[in-house]
């Protein structure tokens, strides 16, 4: 079994007004954070984006074979990359494919998602939230490439529509809720206002962590026996 990670970036970011992959949260770009997160689960991780767009990304760029055609083109690019790996059966090759604009995903949740995919007979395992399927946070089997290619060639561009062409396993709230402590697991950042919300949440979390660290340090000092 082989598990690969792919982060989709380089989209238009029209509602954001700038490349949201490059905005920073606590000193790290959104892209860097997502690559780091996916790498912690999958090991080898590539960024699906136009060549040359992110020279300092810290991960290999996999050229999107259908730039400007939306996330389904990026997903198909990743699936084809897995199929071209020598010596690896598509039936036993899996790809965790994420959008780079979901800052509240966790390592624990993604590890669970991948574990479900490896154990499943489906060709794609995807969570469903109150907003519907979350297709840009899914784990795909490499052999899904042919059906996705056929859908793409037939004019399909909506990821959820393409997913319906596959054996699919859906993880509902009972599967993922325990990983979602503050109701933001699948929240994505589309606008400058969203960025401000995310930035404040990250600052608040950092403040709480700093406060706990300071409290522990004070307790440790009080617990130490006096010398002399």
For 39-51, what is each residue's pLDDT tens digit? Answer: 999 978 999 999 8
pLDDT band at 12 (very low <50, low <70, confident <90, very high): low
At 213 the pLDDT is: 45
At 210 the pLDDT is: 54
- Using alpha carbons only, what angle is made at residue 55 by residues 50 and 61, rounded to the nearest 5 degrees? 45
**CA distances to 18, 31, 142, 153 from 94, in Å:** 32, 21, 6, 23
* pTM of the predicted model over 0.75: yes
Mean pLDDT of the 168-186 span: 95
Give the chain's domains with CATH numbers.
2-223 (3.90.550.10)
At 201 the pLDDT is: 93
With H, G, I as helix, E, B as strand and everything else as coil, classify residue 132. Answer: strand
At 56 the pLDDT is: 85
The percentage of the chain sitting over the pLDDT mark of 90, rounded to a whole number, equals 71
With H, G, I as helix, E, B as strand and everything else as coil, classify residue 194. Answer: helix
- Using alpha carbons only, what angle is made at residue 179 by residues 173 and 180, rounded to the nearest 5 degrees? 75
Report the greatest alpha carbon distance in the chain.
Answer: 82
């Amino acid at each position: 079994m082989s598990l690969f990670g792919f982060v989709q970036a380089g989209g238009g970011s029209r509602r954001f007004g700038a490349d949201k992959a490059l905005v920073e949260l606590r000193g790290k770009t959104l892209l860097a954070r997502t690559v780091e997160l996916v790498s912690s689960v999958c090991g080898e991780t590539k960024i699906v984006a136009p060549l040359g767009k992110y020279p300092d990304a810290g991960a290999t760029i996999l050229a999107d074979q259908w730039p400007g055609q939306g996330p389904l083109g990026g997903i198909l690019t990743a699936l084809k990359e897995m199929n071209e790996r020598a010596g690896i059966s598509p039936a036993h090759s899996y790809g965790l494919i994420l959008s780079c604009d979901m800052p509240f995903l966790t390592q624990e949740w993604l590890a669970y998602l991948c574990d479900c995919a490896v154990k499943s007979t489906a060709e794609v395992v995807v969570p469903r939230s109150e907003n519907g399927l979350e297709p840009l946070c899914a784990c795909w089997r490499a052999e899904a490439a042919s059906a996705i290619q056929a859908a793409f060639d037939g004019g399909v561009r909506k990821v959820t529509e393409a997913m319906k062409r596959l054996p699919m396993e859906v993880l509902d709230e009972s599967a993922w809720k325990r990983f979602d402590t503050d109701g933001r697991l699948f929240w994505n950042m589309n606008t400058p206002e969203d960025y401000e919300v995310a930035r404040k949440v990250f600052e608040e979390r950092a403040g709480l962590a700093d406060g706990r660290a300071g409290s522990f340090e004070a307790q440790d000092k009080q617990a130490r026996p006096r010398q002399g």
